[in-house]
Structure 1
Amino acid sequence: MDPVHDTWVRPSRTALPVVWALTRAAMLALLAFDGRFPLGVGGVAGEVHARYAHWGATLAQGTFPTGDPLWQYPPGAGPLLLAPGLLPGLTYFQAFVTLTLAADALVTYVLARGDRDPRGAWLWAAGLPLLLHVPLARYDIEVTALAVLALLTLGRAPRLSGTLAALGALVKVWPALTLLGVERGRTARQVWGTALAAATAMLLFLALVFRAPLSFLNGQGGRGVQIESLGGTVLALARLAGWPGRVRYQYGAMEYVGPWVGVVATTSLALTAVAFAVLLWWRLRARRHTEATPYDAALCAVLMFTVTSRVVSPQYLVWLLGLAAVCLTSRRTTQRPVALLVLAAAGLTGLAYPVLYGDVMAGTWTGVGVMAVRNALLVAAVWVSFRALWTATRR
């Protein structure tokens, strides 16, 4: 965007550490009061206390959690969940939150570093608390840190960028999309070649150190339609109209069961395939490339795969906030309106979970309304993002 027509106010970096410290202190306070009024349903921290700690103990014995249907994560997640148990003097929960805050601080630092536009760092620092205390009780900040670093090192160290993207992909797959917008030619060959080599080496290492590194594949096939997803909103509206389905806890999430759920799940998978085809089409047709193109393409791609997913857990917004923040570090980004939509969606996500999650599960008009508006914002973000990306790279 031309600086003359840039209506955003350029913020200062000086207050950023203070704002980061105050907002993270507030998030820690919310974590301490998890489940109490007015935070809605509890259990946000239970993911770490019970499930992650149990998996960490299993991994410490040299094996992935085989036979556990809730283990649905690529093998790179293993070392990440094992690490908190290795910190001395802290409980697993305390160590987990400490490492998560360290990753959060690293993301803020690299976004604000050098001559980058500080609006990116401000979006991350001020936007993440919109998800309340949920980000501190999930490991998505660490994954986002790998993706952010992969994008921001792309121009000066393409091989390092490819390695970081590969590590992130082995933890949660989606960071592989950060390489989608790399300009064709020597840089692309370096990045993709290094990413492939790093992923292969890491997989071989994990196969040597742990047993059953691919056991996560068994837990993916049975996933249904989570109530927070776009398909879940369709079913929630149908439920208000008399559809007989119900909500049940399975595969670590609240999902719909009943007639037509399988059709909705299959449709979601089909839409994901369509999204992949559209992105491939864009990649083949793109002609114009700027420093911001890889950032914009990464945000657009992850938005597409988020909206078409059967899951869309609240922590998915951590990914989108991180990628939107990277886009705003460049004055040539096309994604500023998308960043605003992501911020609004993050605010509604924090309201839906945990504050109004009881209403979301019960399918009340309030719960369905909040989720419908949140998902409508994400759909709008996909449209605005791809349209801006297509226009900028075909011009």
Structure 2
Amino acid sequence: MTAPDAPAAVVRGRPFGARRTALWSAFGLVHALLILLCFVSPGWPLGDVEQVYRSWAEGAASGRFQVGIDTPFVYPILAFGPIILALAFGPALYAATWLGIVTLLDAAAFALLLRRPGEAATRAAWWWLGFLLLLGPVALARIDSVTVPIVIVALLLLESRPLWGAALLTIATWVKVWPFAAVAALVVASRDRGRVLGTAAGTSAVIVLIALILGSGLTVFSFVTEQTGRGIQIESSVGLAWMWQAAAGLPGSFLYYDHEILTYQVTGPGIDLAIVLMTPLLALAVVAVLLLGWRAMRDGAGFDRLYPPLLLALVLTLIVFNKVGSPQFMGWLVAPVIFGLLVRPGAWRTPAVLVAVLAGLTQLIYPHLYDWLLLAHPAMVLLLTLRNLLEVVLLGWAIREIWRSPRPDYRTGARRLTPDPKE
């Protein structure tokens, strides 16, 4: 049998079934290890789940209050779905049920990824597993962990069912705001932005209407004001200036725990002005990236060249210009990288490596060495600085790719994945 006659089920000498078995075995091992790390790692990685999410779920189950309906909610209203679902087997098993839900969602996205033909999907799957190991327990133990696989599924549907993909991205946005970046990038890069906008608006209208029927009133939008009123979190890029002042022992600069937001923040001279300015600065940065993407689209950039770096740039903008700097934000980078590895494998090797390094640095910072960061130890502040600077480098790469996207693509390994405007 000659090489062209080789069966499609054999890729580079290895049976397709064997590759799938290896990948699923690795998936199980990686998630088992992450679940173990959630329970044994320092810094209480399950703190948000066991302390915050469970209290919200128990409040609703007892009829005392429901966040997002009766009281303000720091997250969009659909975040309450997985939070209450994790109470299905009782408070004692809340954390275990939560981890099971996230693992099942990851498995669904992983299965859909493996249905794609070719080596690109296989390599993207291996990369995802490596990323999860490098990021550590926060990859499973935050509300963001629910949105990541939903966004991956949505992006994988863009080729065959673009409006279903847009609807899923909108649903994910009503769990945690960051998938808005995927919707906005889709509106700019898609040839059928009118239907995408209509789908997103219609899906959002249904969600808000249901919340209003349940009696939320304007509380359904409380996540907007809850976030804008926050201080500067110690891991954020903007917080580095005061973290270095605290590390140097300068008067007036120190770390503190905000009992209302339940997070560590930093304060110091001039920080009140930074708190006021960061939200409009974030909005301006997002608009600037979208305008850059619009310019590229008008100059003839194809969807496959424009959408992945535009999505990555928007996600990184939400991270770099944010007052908050939580470790789980690194999980947001998974979906753009997987999509990029599918459509332009050669071009996306560098960002894939950079994102993996970001994940590893993040796990070092939290949970393993977090106590040293809380002391503003200079070595830890330096490590945090390197991590945050690497985010800026990656943002620069994404912006360069957006700018160059109208040019012909001469890289090898690129493949078309342009959504068909017709369902």
TM-score past 0.5 threshold: yes
- Partner of 1:161 in structure 2? 165
Could you tell me which amino acid in structure 2 is paired with residue 200 of structure 1? A
Gaps of 5+ in 2: 1-11, 409-423
Could you tell me which amino acid in structure 2 is paired with residue 188 of structure 1? R
Correspondence 1:200 to 2:202: no
Retained in 2: the 8 A contact 1:335–1:385? no
- Partner of 2:32 in structure 1? 25
Retained in 2: the 8 A contact 1:327–1:333? no
Sort the Cα spacing of 1:388 and 1:225 in 2 relative to 1 into closer, same or farther, 3 A: same
| Aligned equivalents of 1:316, 1:66: Cα separation in 2 | 26
Retained in 2: the 8 A contact 1:85–1:95? yes
Q: Deviations over 1:68-101 (max 9, x none)?
A: 78x4111121222111123579722221111011
User: 1:270 offset after TM fit, Å?
Assistant: 4.2
Correspondence 1:248 to 2:256: yes
Structure 2 residue corresponding to 1:321, chosen from 334, 337, 340: 334
| Aligned equivalents of 1:157, 1:111: Cα separation in 2 | 15
Q: Deviations over 1:117-167 (max 9, x none)?
A: 122211211111212212221121211122112222112112101110110
User: 1:213 offset after TM fit, Å?
Assistant: 2.6
User: 1:243 offset after TM fit, Å?
Assistant: 4.9
Structure 2 residue corresponding to 1:170, chosen from 171, 174, 196: 174
| Aligned equivalents of 1:162, 1:184: Cα separation in 2 | 13
TM-score, normalised by the number of residues in structure 2:
0.83
- Partner of 1:191 in structure 2? 196
Correspondence 1:361 to 2:362: no
Sort the Cα spacing of 1:124 and 1:332 in 2 relative to 1 into closer, same or farther, 3 A: closer
User: 1:265 offset after TM fit, Å?
Assistant: 2.7
**Number of corresponding residues:** 379
| Aligned equivalents of 1:89, 1:328: Cα separation in 2 | 40
Gaps of 5+ in 1: 1-8, 36-41
User: 1:361 offset after TM fit, Å?
Assistant: 1.2
Retained in 2: the 8 A contact 1:292–1:333? no
- Partner of 1:85 in structure 2? 87
| Aligned equivalents of 1:290, 1:46: Cα separation in 2 | 40
Sort the Cα spacing of 1:334 and 1:279 in 2 relative to 1 into closer, same or farther, 3 A: farther
Retained in 2: the 8 A contact 1:229–1:311? yes
User: How many percent identity over aligned positions?
Assistant: 28
| Aligned equivalents of 1:56, 1:292: Cα separation in 2 | 43
User: 1:373 offset after TM fit, Å?
Assistant: 0.7
User: 1:65 offset after TM fit, Å?
Assistant: 5.8
Structure 2 residue corresponding to 1:311, chosen from 307, 324, 343: 324
- Partner of 2:282 in structure 1? 272
- What secondary structure, in the 3-state scheme, does the structure 2 residue paired with 1:254 have? strand
RMSD, aligned CA: 2.5
- What secondary structure, in the 3-state scheme, does the structure 2 residue paired with 1:271 have? helix
User: 1:279 offset after TM fit, Å?
Assistant: 1.6
User: 1:258 offset after TM fit, Å?
Assistant: 2.9
- Partner of 2:57 in structure 1? 56
- Partner of 1:4 in structure 2? none
Retained in 2: the 8 A contact 1:124–1:322? no
Retained in 2: the 8 A contact 1:128–1:321? no
Could you tell me which amino acid in structure 1 is paired with residue 295 of structure 2? R
- What secondary structure, in the 3-state scheme, does the structure 1 residue paired with 2:389 have? helix
Could you tell me which amino acid in structure 2 is paired with residue 101 of structure 1? T
Task: Between 138-147 and 347-356, report the one with greater CA deviation.
Answer: 138-147
- What secondary structure, in the 3-state scheme, does the structure 1 residue paired with 2:269 have? coil
Map 1:80-119; keep pairs closer than 5 Å.
80-87=82-89, 91-115=93-117, 117=120, 118-119=122-123
- What secondary structure, in the 3-state scheme, does the structure 2 residue paired with 1:141 have? helix
TM-score, normalised by the number of residues in structure 1:
0.88
